[in-house]
Amino acid sequence: MRFSATDSADCSVLVTEVGTRDGFQVEPEFIPTASKADVLNALIDAGVRSFEATSFVSPRAIPQLADASQLMDMLTRRPGVRLSALVPNARGAERAAAAKVDMMICFVSASESHCQANLNKPIERALADFEEFSPIAEQYGIPVRGAIAVAFGCPFEGEVPVDSLLRIAGAYHERGVRHITLGDTTGMATPPVVERAVEALRSRFPDLQIALHFHNTRGVGLANVVVGLQLGIREFESSIAGLGGCPFAPGASGNICTEDLVYLLHESGYQTGIDLDKLCEVARGVETLLGRKLPGQVMKSGGRLRRFSLDGARRAVG
């Protein structure tokens, strides 16, 4: 199977930026709301059109995201830009609706252990909460996306059976949800595991639109993207400069990096509508904001055909 998009008419890929939610949520020092808004607005200026901007979880659970409503008020609203937010329950849904999010994201873990660690409730209770808040989304005309955490492996239980994914996807599907994200919460995905999960979901629910969310914990995040592209997936979630990780899962390092993902897509003939140079500027700004080096590679090296002056370059001697 060829990887390049040049022999396919379907070469447009949607990149959903999750850095200000999945990335910032693990930062120990509170990031000013205005700084978060500056990052998001700069990403919009760079051409990013889809965001998981924040989360309407309890401020006690994740203090870094206690400013969700204020943040949404400070963002640039433009036609074609989707500003989504995570919503754990009916109370969060009411707050998200008041903040005028464009999409609500429900999240349920594929393993009981991670669901308890991440949401402090079993899977059945998490699905019941979804049943409670989905009518609120319907009332306000806000679409819902269903996310499945630890979809490719659980740090507490190991392998996640495909039947667990089908069970949760089925509950979403019953409520009319047609957008699903499979989350690689601790970077346990590998190409065969991704292929097995995607093909199982498509076989049972052929009308689902599937997005993939990878972490680069074990260095194969972009390899998994390649497999997703070959399977026809056209939406991937990533984090500016490679920020991120789940605070409730051991070993959950950063997400795949947005600039690196966009570079891979562009070099392979796919279109994102994103200006890579501007994206790298934002990534370097996030490094400055956080005061440390971040994992992104392309923001440091530039594109493949970046040129340097020979003047002053080191020369071999002897």
The domain in which residue 180 lies consists of: 11-301
Is there a catalytic annotation at residue 246? yes
pLDDT of residue 9: 56
Token pair 């204020």 is found at 70
The answer to whether residue 4 sits within a structural domain is no
Question: What are the residues whose beta carbons fall under 8 Å from the beta carbon of 207, sequence distance 6 or more?
Answer: 178
> Is 148 domain-assigned?
yes
Closest CA to 214 of 255, 244, 251, 158: 255
Distance CA 84, CA 274 (A): 18
222-250 confidence digits (pLDDT tens): 999 999 999 999 999 999 999 976 555 55
Tell whether 5 is covered by a domain. Answer: no
Q: Is residue 313 part of a domain?
A: no
Q: Is the pLDDT of residue 318 over 60?
A: no
282, part of any domain? yes
Residue 6 in this model has a pLDDT that exceeds 90:
no
Least reliable range by pLDDT among 195-199, 216-220, 222-226: 216-220
Domain assignment present for 6: no
Q: What span, in angstroms and rounded, lies between the C-alpha atoms of 177 and 78?
A: 25
Q: What is the pTM of this model?
A: 0.93
- Look at the chain and report how many structural domains it folds into: 1
For residue 193, report the phi and psi dihedrals to the nearest 5 degrees: -65, -40
> H-helix or E-strand containing 55?
strand 50-55
Is 306 inside a domain boundary? no
- Cα(153)–Cα(188) distance, integer angstroms: 5
* 95 vs 6, residue with greater confidence: 95
Three-point CA angle 274, 277, 281, nearest 5°: 110
CATH number at residue 44: 3.20.20.70
pLDDT digits (tens, 9 = 90+) for 255-294: 999 999 999 999 999 999 999 999 999 999 999 999 999 9
**Residue 171: which of 82, 239, 108 has the closest Cα?**
108
CB 310: neighbour CB atoms within 10 A? 7
Angstrom distance (rounded) from CA 276 to CA 269 = 14
The catalytic position among 106, 115, 154, 246 is: 246
* Cα–Cα distances in angstroms (integers) from residue 155 to residues 188, 191, 214, 246, 254, in the given order: 8, 18, 15, 11, 15
Any domain includes 314: no
Summarised one tens digit per residue, pLDDT across range 68-113 is 999 999 998 999 999 999 999 999 999 999 999 999 999 999 999 9
